[in-house]
């Protein structure tokens, strides 16, 4: 069974960049997804759902640098449930998105894409640098194991 989701919506806040004690970057995002439809009386109805998500490593740093509150984004990831107990003994749980991919929606905007160079050869470990170069085709061995050229 798969729990992959793709959401399109607007960032409610700027991505919040943090680092784990071991130095791994993560960015927390909140996303508002609007649904609009006509009811049986032909009147417009609108409903907004809010989602929280986490972006990891180099992508977290890129998102924090590139996106801001109000940005319309496309998010792809996995749903994950987290549970805890409050100090009062109440049980709580939340479903969040572990973000695999995030980028700006070009429906009502334009974007300039800059490919980030990386210092190590392993995408899965988040190797990379802060230097950017214009996106261009690269040799096949420059792609990660699960990536296709763009």
pLDDT tens column, 64-101: 999 999 999 999 999 999 999 999 999 999 999 999 99
Give the whole-angstrom CA distance, residue 112 versus residue 34.
26
- Choice between 35 and 2, residue whose per-residue pLDDT is larger: 35
Say if residue 30's pLDDT is above 80.
yes
Give the whole-angstrom CA distance, residue 104 versus residue 67.
8
Say if residue 132's pLDDT is above 50.
no
Cβ neighbours of 129 (radius 10 Å)? 11
Cβ neighbours of 14 (radius 10 Å)? 16
Give the whole-angstrom CA distance, residue 58 versus residue 5.
21
Report the pLDDT averaged over residues 95-111. 93
Lowest average pLDDT, out of 59-68, 92-101, 112-121, goes to 112-121
Supply the pLDDT for residue 7: 96
Give the whole-angstrom CA distance, residue 7 versus residue 98.
12
Supply the pLDDT for residue 1: 56
What is the pTM assigned to this prediction? 0.71
**CATH 2.40.50.140 spans which residues of the chain?**
4-36+44-105
CA-based R_g, the chain, Å:
18
The CATH code that applies to domain 4-36+44-105 is 2.40.50.140
Supply the pLDDT for residue 144: 44
pLDDT band at 11 (very low <50, low <70, confident <90, very high): very high
Q: Mean of the per-residue pLDDT values for the chain?
A: 83
- Choice between 15 and 134, residue whose per-residue pLDDT is larger: 15
Where helices occur in 29-146 by DSSP H, the ranges are 57-66
Q: Do 98 and 55 touch, CB atoms closer than 8 A?
A: no
Say if residue 50's pLDDT is above 60.
yes
Supply the pLDDT for residue 146: 47
């Amino acid at each position: 069974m798969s729990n992959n989701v793709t959401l399109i919506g607007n960032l409610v806040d700027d991505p919040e960049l943090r680092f784990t004690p071991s130095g791994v970057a993560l960015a927390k995002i909140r996303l508002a997804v609007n649904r609009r439809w006509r009811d049986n009386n032909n009147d417009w109805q609108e409903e907004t759902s809010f989602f929280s998500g986490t972006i990891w490593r180099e992508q977290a740093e890129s998102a924090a640098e590139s996106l801001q509150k109000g940005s319309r984004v496309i998010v792809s990831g996995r749903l994950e449930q987290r549970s805890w107990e409050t100090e009062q003994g109440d049980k709580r749980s939340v479903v969040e998105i572990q973000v695999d991919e995030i980028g700006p929606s070009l429906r009502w905007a334009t974007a300039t894409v800059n490919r980030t160079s990386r210092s190590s050869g392993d995408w899965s470990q988040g190797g990379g640098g802060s230097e950017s170069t214009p996106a261009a085709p690269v040799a096949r061995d420059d792609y990660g194991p699960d990536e296709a050229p763009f």
